[in-house]
Amino acid sequence: MNNKSIIMLATSLVSGLLFSFGATPMAAAQSAATNIVVGADTTFPPFETETNGEVTGFDIDMIQAIAKAENMTVSLKTLPFNGIIPSLQAGSIDAAVAGITIKTSRMQNVDFSDAYYKSGLSVLVKKDSGIKGFDDLKGHVVATKKATSSVDYLTSHGFAPDYVKQFQSIDAAYQALETGGADAVIFDNPVNVNFKAGHDNVETVGPLLTGEYYGIAISKQKPELVEKINAGLAKIKQSGEYQKLFEKYFGGDTSGVVNEVQKPASVAISG
């Protein structure tokens, strides 16, 4: 048997083996991609929002880019913010993006990626309110979103429940401010700024109340996923994809950029 015949026979045998396992080389490579189910609360623009059934936002683009960098695919599952931690604990989702502040209490129930956004709470009021900062809020009704660090902050600073209106979505809190159902909104500054950009009658007042970091929450049942997501985050920072998201969603405002690696344990806030 000549060399050409040997090569043809070898090629035929390899093709036959692949066929017998129901795969071509290309299909085998594609099947290696791992799918992860990612939860998202779509009431947190510009990080997550949903329009006509399409979920978009900073966090959505980011997790898709991270997944691609690590040969993973993403299946999105939308759910309320206060359902995210329980869903991660139950294993019905693998990870979650929703502008989730890294907190010590949350770290007992879920794992976090390295921090990807630096935020803080701010006070949003109507321009004619006379409120100049947080210290002026005593005796006023403050609106915010359920199960967020804003609630923790208000509670720890002595606000009685009757003066804190908690809503399922931040949009409902903003509506309460607009209609006179609340005197102020305390919430994550980038979201307040995003709302202010489209409404001339409101303003943020006083300094940021906190410094906090967002992380991707990950089920403790998926410890290997923490490493993959951190590796993907590092890759999109190196490629410049991460930085481009700040141009797309924040008009180039880079105040929330986290260039260095910030481990959850080192940036977690109490509560």
Banded model confidence at residue 28, pLDDT cuts 50, 70, 90: very low
pLDDT in tens, 154-185: 999 999 999 999 999 999 999 999 999 999 99
**Is the pLDDT at 8 greater than 90, yes or no?**
no
Q: Tell me the three-class secondary structure of the chain, residue by residue.
A: CCHHHHHHHHHHHHHHHHHHCCCCHHHHHHHCCEEEEEEECCEECCCEEEECCEEECHHHHHHHHHHHHCCEEEEEEECCHHHHHHHHHHCCCCEEECCCECEHHHHCCCEECCCCEEECEEEEEECCCCCCCHHHCCCCCEEEECCCHHHHHHHHCCCCHHHEEEECCHHHHHHHHHHCCCCEEEEEHHHHHHHHHCCCCEEEECCCCCCEEECCEECCCCHHHHHHHHHHHHHHHHHCHHHHHHHHHHCCCCCCCCCCCCCHHHHCECC
Please tell me the distance from the alpha carbon of residue 174 to that of residue 136, in angstroms, as a whole number.
19
Q: Is the entire prediction scored with pTM above 0.85?
A: no
pLDDT interval class at 27 (50, 70, 90): very low
